[in-house]
């Protein structure tokens, strides 16, 4: 077998074996990976819209997805918004839950972030940041309380607490949520949040 | 507007070398003289931009539509190897002196994380076409900035009295660390 | 030159020819994922998987692959194993896969792997290549372990996520930042050189 032919044959064979091996592995792992992603979203939805039995994606575009949460009887108990935006260092991915009429925010969950460890990264900490997001008034835009308050009672219904030393990260989270909240309300008003089963019986 | 922010972010805030740790081998290897560093930086920027475009096309026109994403790594690296080969031949024809200056470093561009990292990061962040191109150019320039700064410092270090164990890679890494620290100051710059 | 014993092929990877500390290879992942011990270990294992399997395959096929296409073939072989490792991790260890991010696919350009194929597996028996790969892998994991332990203990006060330092310790955040990675590795390289020269003088 002369050299050129041999080169082509070897490369083709290596390529084919590699391709087939990968195709097999790809198929074996594909479902599992999709499943993992779904589980992560489901868990986050359950956290921000407690009592959710079934959830459904009612609207999605790049970086912004709205899920509806229904309880065991099929009644709408809230919306979960999954979105991301620029943080201090890199992208922050979060999810927050509201009631069906979008009058309050149930809670906030940070899914992905790369903020400064020990400072901005505290946005994932319940005690340091997230607990101040529980049961907030969503009637108007939220604002950031600076300097940091010591307890939840000090905060106004639409105020959230800043993290000392990580004002910018806190602020970035705030603007991501505010923008998404606005969008959510607009979607609701435009009637775009109707799910398959009409809950207006 | 978003493109400009992305561009600045790639160069300063999320600097390719000092934040993403990509391109360390050439960063440490070529950064001894400023002109060589600058040429390398430009070569890398050039290859990165083309790679950004080609990898985006492969990803969005072939891999995703046909559900072949598991072939991403293999296809990217083969494309990069081919691209670098082409760039090398191109430079050799168009500018022999430049080819001489870059010497062995061109083929090295293939097997270093710089280019492959670019393709993978852009795919991971799921950028659109325009963003991918800007990301490629920005990352290349960020790399160039880091490597030129490093060369400037190392030219000075050559004249200084560095303790023997630290000579070479040791002191280079420590300098890189200080640079990385300085660049952290750019965080939060973009909205 | 007398042929090394099979055991020696393994041992050399641990120190004498340690890929990170002595050969200065594979630094991208070493710096990027050593912010926590668990990440370092995971990356080390993933890289070892690719290195060991690639070395065995290359050594087995070395007579069949024409020299002109050897680099391309090695790349395809390595990329295949990297994809398998990446997919496997994403499917069964999602949180670690997320922390390691793009650095697992980047194993494909880790100079240690291609370097070993070119320098060793393409010229040695399968047995020796296997030992070489195992040695290099162990050396690499050790390097990652040392670096990530220093960074996690000093940077967060924990080890493998568990509290290690007492409450009195205020973590040195810089250790978790890129700057800390560079500086620590630089110092470790210097330490390696000092140890090396001291052992040389003792031998003489």
Q: Do A26 and B188 touch (CB under 8 A)?
A: no
A18 touches chain C (CB under 8 A): yes
3-state secondary structure chain C: CCCCCHHHHHHCCCCCCCCCCCCCCCHHHHHHCCCCHHHHHHHHHHHHHHHHHHHHHHHHHCCCCCHHHHHHHHHHHHHHHHHHHHHHHHHHCHHHHHHHHHHCHHHHHCHHHHHHHHHHHCCCCHHHHHHHHHHHHHHHHHHHHHHHHHHHHHHHCEECCEECCCCCCCCCHHHCCHHHHHHHHHHHHHHHHHHHHHHHHHHC
C90 touches chain B (CB under 8 A): no
Residue with the two structure tokens 């630089």: C186
Q: Where would I find the H helices in chain A?
A: 3-48, 167-189
**Predicted pLDDT of residue A113:** 85
**Predicted pLDDT of residue C2:** 47
ipTM above 0.90, yes or no: no
**Mean pLDDT of the region C149-169:** 83
Residue with the two structure tokens 């710059």: B189
Longest dimension (CA), chain C: 62
Task: Give the list of residues 6+ apart from residue A156 with CB closer than 8 angstroms, or none.
Answer: A143, A145
Q: Do A116 and B71 touch (CB under 8 A)?
A: no
Q: Do C66 and A29 touch (CB under 8 A)?
A: no
Question: Pick from B74, B124, B176: which is nearest to C76 by CB?
Answer: B74
Token digits of residue C162: 């568990």
C157 near C163, Cβ under 8 Å? yes
**Predicted pLDDT of residue A198:** 46
Local structure of B44: helix, strand or coil = helix
**Predicted pLDDT of residue B14:** 84
Q: For residue A91, what is the enclosing H or E element? A: strand A91-98
Q: Do B180 and C178 touch (CB under 8 A)?
A: yes
3-state secondary structure C163-175: ECCCCCCCCCHHH
Q: Do C186 and B171 touch (CB under 8 A)?
A: yes
- Residue from A127, A136, A111 nearest A163 by CA: A127
Q: Which residue positions in chain A have pLDDT lower than 70?
A: 1, 194-201
Q: Do C76 and A112 touch (CB under 8 A)?
A: no
Distance in Å, alpha carbon of C188 to nearest chain A alpha carbon: 23
A69 near A78, Cβ under 8 Å? yes
Report d(CA A116, CA A113) in Å as an integer. 9
Q: Which residue positions in chain B have pLDDT lower than 70?
A: 30-31, 101-112, 188-191
Between the alpha carbon of residue A89 and those of residues A185, B175, C79, the distances in Å are: 29, 22, 31
Work out the angle at residue A122's Cα, subtended by the Cα atoms of residues A116 and A124, and round it to the nearest 5 degrees. Answer: 115
Does the structure show a pLDDT above 90 at C51?
A: yes
DSSP state of A133: G
CA atoms within 13 A on the CB side of A41: 19
Report d(CA A158, CA A162) in Å as an integer. 13
Q: Do A117 and C177 touch (CB under 8 A)?
A: yes
Residues of B in contact with C27 (CB under 8 A): 24-25, 28
Report d(CA A6, CA B34) in Å as an integer. 45
Question: Pick from A26, A30, A90: which is nearest to B14 by CB?
Answer: A90
**Predicted pLDDT of residue B112:** 66
Does the structure show a pLDDT above 50 at C178?
A: yes
Residues 51-110 of A with CB under 8 A from C: none
Please state, as a whole number, how many other Cβ atoms lie within 10 Å of the Cβ of residue A21.
Answer: 15
Phi and psi, residue C30, nearest 5°: -55, -40
**Predicted pLDDT of residue C162:** 81
- Residue from B78, C116, B56 nearest A15 by CA: B78
C123 touches chain A (CB under 8 A): no
**What is the tens place of the pLDDT at every residue in B106-148?**
666 666 678 888 888 888 888 888 889 999 999 999 999 998 9
Q: Which residue of A has its CA nearest to B69?
A: A26
Question: pLDDT category, C50, cuts 50, 70, 90?
Answer: very high
Distance in Å, alpha carbon of A26 to nearest chain B alpha carbon: 6
Helix, strand counts (H, E) of chain A: 2, 8
| B/C interface, count of CB pairs below 8 Å | 120
- Residue from B14, B141, B106, B73 nearest C77 by CA: B73
A129 near A163, Cβ under 8 Å? yes
Report d(CA B186, CA C136) in Å as an integer. 38
Where b means 16+ CB within 10 Å and e means fewer, C74-111 reads bbbbbbbbbbbbbbbbbbeebebbebbbbbbbbbbbbb
Does the structure show a pLDDT above 80 at C166?
A: no
Token digits of residue C171: 């973590």
Task: Give the list of residues 6+ apart from residue A138 with CB closer than 8 angstroms, or none.
Answer: A98, A102, A103, A104, A105, A158, A181
Report d(CA A58, CA A66) in Å as an integer. 6
**Predicted pLDDT of residue C1:** 41
Distance in Å, alpha carbon of B188 to nearest chain A alpha carbon: 4
Neighbours of chain B (3+ CB pairs under 8 A): A, C
Local structure of B164: helix, strand or coil = helix
Residues pairing with B144 in the sheet: none
% pLDDT > 70, chain C = 97
**Predicted pLDDT of residue C30:** 83
Question: Pick from B24, B78, B184: which is nearest to C179 by CB?
Answer: B184
DSSP class per residue in B99-157:
HHHHTTHHHHHHTSHHHHHHHHHHHHHT--HHHHHHHHHHHHHHHHHHHHHHHHHHHHH
**What is the tens place of the pLDDT at every residue in C68-85?**
778 788 888 999 999 999
Residue A1 burial by Cβ neighbours in a 10 Å radius (0-12, 13-18, 19+): exposed
**What is the tens place of the pLDDT at every residue in B94-106?**
878 877 766 666 6
Q: Do A26 and B190 touch (CB under 8 A)?
A: no
Does the structure show a pLDDT above 70 at C204?
A: no
Local structure of B167: helix, strand or coil = coil
**Predicted pLDDT of residue C3:** 58
**Mean pLDDT of the region C6-31:** 79
């Amino acid at each position: 077998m002369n050299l050129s032919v041999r080169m082509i044959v070897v490369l083709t064979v290596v390529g084919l074996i590699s391709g087939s091996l990968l195709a097999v592995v790809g198929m074996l792992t594909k479902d599992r990976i999709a499943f993992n992603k779904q589980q992560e979203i489901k868990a986050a939805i359950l956290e921000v819209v407690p009592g959710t039995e079934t959830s459904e994606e009612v609207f999605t575009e790049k970086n912004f997805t709205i899920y509806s949460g229904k309880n065991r009887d099929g009644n709408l108990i809230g919306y979960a918004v999954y979105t991301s935006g620029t943080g201090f260092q890199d992208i922050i991915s979060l999810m927050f839950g509201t009631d069906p009429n979008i009058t309050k925010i149930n809670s906030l969950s940070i899914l992905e972030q790369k903020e400064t460890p020990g400072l901005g990264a505290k946005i994932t900490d319940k005690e340091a940041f997230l607990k101040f997001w529980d049961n907030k008034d969503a009637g108007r835009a939220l604002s950031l309380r600076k300097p940091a308050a010591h307890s939840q009672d000090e905060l106004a219904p639409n105020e959230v607490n800043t993290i000392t030393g990580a004002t910018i990260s806190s602020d970035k989270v705030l603007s991501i949520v505010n923008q998404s909240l606005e969008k959510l309300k607009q979607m609701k008003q435009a009637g775009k949040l109707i799910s398959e089963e009409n809950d207006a019986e | 507007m978003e493109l400009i922010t992305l561009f600045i972010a790639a160069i300063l805030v999320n600097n390719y070398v000092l934040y993403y740790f990509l391109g360390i081998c050439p960063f440490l290897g070529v950064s001894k003289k400023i002109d060589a560093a600058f040429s390398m930086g430009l070569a890398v920027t050039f290859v990165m931009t083309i790679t950004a475009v080609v990898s985006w096309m492969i990803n969005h026109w072939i891999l995703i539509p046909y559900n072949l994403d598991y072939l991403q790594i293999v296809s990217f690296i083969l494309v990069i190897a081919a691209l670098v080969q082409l760039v090398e031949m191109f430079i050799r024809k168009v500018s022999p002196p430049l080819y001489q200056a870059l010497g062995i470093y061109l083929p090295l561009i293939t097997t270093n994380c710089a280019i492959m990292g670019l393709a993978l990061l852009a795919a991971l962040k799921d950028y659109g076409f325009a963003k991918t191109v800007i990301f490629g150019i920005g990352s290349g320039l960020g790399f160039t900035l880091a490597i030129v700064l490093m060369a400037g410092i190392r030219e000075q270090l050559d004249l200084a009295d560095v303790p023997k164990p630290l000579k070479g890679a040791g002191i280079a890494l420590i300098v890189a660390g200080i640079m990385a620290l300085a660049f952290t100051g750019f965080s939060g710059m973009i909205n | 030159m007398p042929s090394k014993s099979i055991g020696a092929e393994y041992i050399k990877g641990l120190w004498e020819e340690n890929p990170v500390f002595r050969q200065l290879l594979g630094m991208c992942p070493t710096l990027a994922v050593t912010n926590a011990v668990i990440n370092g270990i995971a990356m080390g294992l993933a890289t070892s998987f690719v290195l060991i399997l690639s070395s065995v395959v290359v050594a087995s096929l070395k007579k069949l692959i024409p020299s002109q296409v050897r680099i391309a073939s090695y790349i395809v072989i390595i990329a295949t194993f990297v994809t398998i490792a990446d997919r496997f991790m994403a499917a069964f260890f999602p949180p670690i896969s997320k922390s390691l991010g793009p650095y697992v696919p980047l194993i494909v350009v880790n100079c240690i792997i291609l370097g070993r194929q070119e320098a060793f597996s393409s010229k040695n028996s399968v047995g020796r290549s296997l030992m070489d790969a195992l040695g290099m892998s162990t050396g690499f994991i050790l390097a990652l372990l040392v670096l990530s332990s220093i960074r996690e203990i000093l940077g967060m006060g924990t080890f493998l996520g568990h509290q290690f330092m007492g409450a009195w310790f205020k973590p040195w955040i810089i250790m978790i930042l890129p700057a800390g990675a560079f500086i620590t590795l630089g110092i470790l390289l210097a330490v390696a050189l000092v140890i090396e020269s001291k052992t040389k003088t003792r031998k003489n």
